[in-house]
């Protein structure tokens, strides 16, 4: 009976395998979020001369994140009386779902990828942009002026920095002639794009930090100004979904930076015996560490400085990089 079912429903079997792998990836990402929160606290503690978590889970506080998750799960879920209830409920889902969906097209190794799309970069940008809708919806549905202000700040910031983020990648697209992430990795056999496109890397990294709403670009949830911003009225698991989206995007953005500029799973010369998955994990970990390092180093900038930096600095620099890349490619015919 089982053999007949397997032979008659190959599509159903493939869907089952795909679904199982997606669940595995979800648990891997959730595990990363749990450990990333702990690692961030420990690294920040080390850089600021503090201990960080040191009680729950022994000397290193290994179970602190687990305790936080349990607290959020059992915490009472409050909905303001005057809130727009349907929008209030669905906003965290709209904010979180795209953060997991973008992982479908990012190749972790040459064999580990869910969808090998010819427009992988375009897919990432399009899907991640939906999170802006969830944040703005949360601010509006809360019927709170501070939440609405935080949602508007988040939308303005993410839209503004998405432009130089995409413009910085156009140099890589010019060199490779492709939007496919696998082909971009293969094109880096002659050298990682962080060497060929250093200006693009700097612009992309800064814009990515702003897209993640992390210090020094965390105006959307500036605690001492907006009482946590667009998710002020959220509690319990709904609040946790916004935080989960932030850290899942940290996973996705770090993986994208690794693919675009650090050669993905490609090894360093003379070290090809080390598996590609190990190389990807090492490069990925360095990017995550730098993002945490930024949080311990830079102060928050003002809202006007935030917007001026995007439109008056990053956008012109990214445009200049496109013209310079096109000129060098035409004259030297490197790729």
**Inter-helix orientation angle 85-101/130-141, to 10°:** 160
Pair 22, 115: CB distance under 8 Å: no
- What is the rounded distance in angstroms from the CA atom of residue 234 to the CA atom of residue 93? 13
The predicted-structure confidence for 87-125, as pLDDT tens digits, reads as follows 999 999 999 999 989 988 999 888 888 888 899 999 999
**79 in any annotated domain:** no
The predicted-structure confidence for 221-253, as pLDDT tens digits, reads as follows 766 565 667 888 998 889 999 989 999 999 999
- 155 and 187 fall within a common domain: yes
Among candidates 258, 255, 263, 259, which has minimal Cα distance to 192? 263
State whether the Cα torsion 250-256-260-264 is positive or negative: positive
- What is the rounded distance in angstroms from the CA atom of residue 168 to the CA atom of residue 3? 52
- What dihedral angle (degrees, nearest 10) is formed by the CA atoms of 140, 94, 201, 335? -130
- 61 and 91 fall within a common domain: no
- 273 and 201 fall within a common domain: yes
Residue 298 vs residues 95, 169, 216, 246, 295: alpha-carbon distances, Å? 26, 25, 6, 19, 6
**Helices vs. strands in the chain: H and E counts, helices first:** 15, 0
Confidence of residue 4 (pLDDT cuts 50, 70, 90): very low
- 31 and 109 fall within a common domain: no
Q: Which two tokens stand for residue 187?
A: 């094109």
**175 in any annotated domain:** yes
Name the domain count of the chain. Answer: 2
pLDDT of residue 223: 63
pLDDT tops 90 at residue 76 = no
- 62 and 169 fall within a common domain: no
For residues 204 and 149, which has the higher predicted lDDT (pLDDT)?
Answer: 204
The predicted-structure confidence for 265-276, as pLDDT tens digits, reads as follows 999 888 888 899
Q: Which domain holds residue 63?
A: 1-74
What does the mean pLDDT of the chain come to? 88
Mean of pLDDT values over 283-288 = 96
pLDDT tops 90 at residue 194 = yes
**242 in any annotated domain:** yes
Those residues whose C-beta lies under 8 Å from the C-beta of residue 93, and which sit 6 or more positions away, are: 134, 241
pLDDT tops 60 at residue 2 = no
Among candidates 227, 327, 295, 335, which has minimal Cα distance to 42? 295
pLDDT tops 50 at residue 219 = yes
The highest-confidence range among 64-68, 112-116, 149-153, 280-284, by mean pLDDT, is 280-284
- 39 and 164 fall within a common domain: no
pLDDT of residue 333: 72
pLDDT of residue 1: 40
């Amino acid at each position: 009976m089982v053999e007949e079912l397997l032979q008659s429903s190959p599509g159903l079997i493939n869907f089952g395998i795909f679904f199982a792998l997606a669940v595995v990836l979800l648990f891997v990402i959730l595990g990363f979020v749990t450990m990333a929160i702990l690692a961030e606290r420990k690294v920040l503690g080390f850089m600021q001369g503090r201990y960080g978590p040191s009680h729950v889970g022994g000397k290193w506080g290994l179970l602190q994140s687990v305790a936080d998750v349990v607290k959020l799960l059992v915490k009472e879920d409050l909905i303001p009386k005057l809130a727009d209830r349907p929008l209030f409920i669905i906003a965290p889902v709209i904010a979180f779902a795209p953060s997991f969906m973008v992982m479908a097209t990012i190749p972790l190794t040459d064999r580990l990828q869910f969808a090998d799309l010819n427009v992988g970069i375009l897919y990432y940008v399009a899907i991640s942009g939906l999170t802006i809708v969830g944040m703005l919806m949360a601010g509006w549905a809360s019927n709170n002026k501070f939440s609405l202000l935080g949602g508007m700040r988040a939308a303005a910031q993410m839209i503004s920095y998405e432009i130089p983020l995409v413009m910085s990648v156009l140099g890589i697209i010019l060199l490779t002639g492709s939007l496919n992430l696998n082909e971009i990795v293969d094109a880096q056999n002659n050298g990682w794009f962080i060497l060929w496109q250093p200006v693009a890397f700097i612009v992309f990294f800064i814009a990515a930090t702003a897209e993640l709403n992390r210090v020094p670009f965390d105006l959307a949830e500036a605690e001492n100004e907006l009482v946590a911003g667009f998710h002020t009225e959220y509690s319990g698991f709904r609040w946790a979904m916004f935080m989960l989206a932030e850290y899942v995007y940290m996973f996705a953005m770090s993986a994208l930076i690794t693919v675009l500029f650090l050669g993905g799973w490609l090894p360093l010369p003379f070290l090809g015996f080390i598996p590609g998955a190990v190389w990807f994990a090492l490069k990925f970990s360095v990017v995550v560490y730098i993002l945490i390092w930024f949080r311990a180093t830079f102060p928050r900038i003002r809202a006007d400085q935030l917007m001026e930096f995007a439109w008056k600095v990053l956008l012109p620099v990214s445009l200049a990089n496109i013209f310079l890349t096109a000129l060098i490619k035409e004259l030297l015919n490197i790729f």
